[in-house]
Amino acid sequence: MRKIPGFFVVMVGFLLPVAKAHEGAGPDSKLIDTLWTAYDPASTDVVDHSIWTGLLSRHLVEGEDGVNRFRYSALTGMEKGLLNDYVYQLEAVDVTDLNRAEQMAYWINLYNAVTVKVVAEHYPVKSIRNVLSGGLFS
């Protein structure tokens, strides 16, 4: 089965609503079908999210308003390297070999890790919208 780069998958996730609004202008529908519908219900494969879990345990803080926030300012260079390693590790996973529950954890963690990675690469920024504005989402 073909491996699908994680960052591409995240971008497809961002672009899917736009693609549906502009029929024929989006990603290949067969690829989207593979990404969102193919899975192995008998799979016992488990994706290792320990790097991500460690980063969250060190940098995720609950605000007084009850909203969790990531402390980008405290992220070290070594931890940025670990985050990159984690995203590359996820890119190597063949998601169609996973069961539904493991796929859900995969997609949620990949989306969040890439979001943190993008903001960390441009930190300090007020919002990820500032990073993405003027590009694909303008």
* pLDDT classification of 33: cutoffs 50, 70, 90: low
Q: What is the mean pLDDT of the segment spanning 90-97?
A: 94
CA distance 89 to 92: 5
Q: What is the mean pLDDT of the segment spanning 81-106?
A: 95
- Which residues on neighbouring strands pair with residue 61, listed in sequence order? 69
CA dihedral 72, 77, 83, 89 (to 10 degrees): 170
Mean pLDDT, all residues of the chain: 80
pLDDT in tens, 45-81: 999 999 999 999 999 999 999 999 999 999 999 999 9
pLDDT value for 2: 40
Q: What is the mean pLDDT of the segment spanning 36-50?
A: 93
Query: Which residues, 6 or more positions from 129, have their beta carbon under 8 angstroms from its beta carbon?
Result: 137
* pLDDT classification of 34: cutoffs 50, 70, 90: low
pLDDT in tens, 111-138: 999 999 999 999 998 888 877 765 544 4
Give CA angle at 122 (120, 126), nearest 5°: 90
Binning the chain into helix, strand and coil, the percentages to the nearest 5 are 60, 5, 35
Residue with tokens 């969102």: 36
Which residue did the predictor score with more confidence, 14 or 120? 120
> Are the beta carbons of 113 and 20 closer than 8 angstroms?
no
Side-chain-side CA neighbours of residue 116 (13 Å): 26
